[in-house]
Amino acid sequence: EVQLVQSGAVVKKTGESLRISCYGSGYNFTNYLISWVRQMPGKGLEWMGRIDPTDSFTKYTTSLQGHVTIAVDTSAATAFLIWNRLTDSDSGMYYCARHRDAIRFDPWGQGTLVTVSS
Amino acid sequence: QSALTQPASVSGSPGQSITISCTGTSSDIGAYNYVSWYQHHPGKAPKILIYDVSQRPSGVSNRFSAAKSDNTASLTISGLQPEDEADYYCCSYARGVTWVFGGGTKLTVL
């Protein structure tokens, strides 16, 4: 079974760094792009960016460029979403999703709840 | 990239049909036949219902159907069931190798 399993909920303070993970199993991890999607409290889904595990080439939505980094460790079949400096507005649920046929998102991870407070 | 426009909520009674619209622009929905739809029960992982405008993945009920015309896509759910109550999101591939989601529609089964 193809699965993406994400790291657990985390509580951090403003200005701290954070790395959350997404482990892929049941398929060849390097053959599929991975995207990160966020859902802020009470809001809809928002595509953040994606990475090609083959060469670590990344593409981000314009508003988040420079604020987050997407990375992979292919030896561990794991993708990461990294913040160097969290802000209050980073609180939300974060999902990773595998690209199927490069376009559709299937499957999704179970989500990681990030809470940032001052 | 602005979010696609969906109605905030729709409702229907069991057995009825409902349609959710999703309006974009000529840079996303209107430019590509890469619209997908996702069902999201709160607290669970989103699930794909439709891809490439109207294709259903194996295992998805044929009660779910979708279409596209110009810059607007739509999802129809027929024979509403209580378990269909969830949030529904459209998504489109967009120029610049990016993806854009709709704001989401909350479906209430009365």
* Rounded mean pLDDT, A87-106: 93
DSSP state, residue A26: S
Looking at residue A69, its pLDDT comes to: 97
Is the pLDDT score of A118 beyond 90?
no
A35 chain-B contacts, CB cut-off 8 A: 99
Looking at residue B1, its pLDDT comes to: 66
Domains, chain B: 9-109 (2.60.40.10)
* Rounded mean pLDDT, A70-99: 97
CA B80 to chain centre: 15
- Looking at the domain A15-104, which fold is it? Immunoglobulin-like (2.60.40)
Q: How many Å apart are CA B52 and CA B32, to the nearest integer?
A: 9
Q: How many Å apart are CA B100 and CA A63, to the nearest integer?
A: 13
Contact A24, A98 (CB under 8 A): yes
Mutation pick from A22, A104, A110 vs chain B, by most beta carbons of B within 10 Å, is A104
List pLDDT tens digits, range A44-73. Answer: 999 999 999 999 999 999 888 889 999 999
Is the pLDDT score of A29 beyond 80?
yes
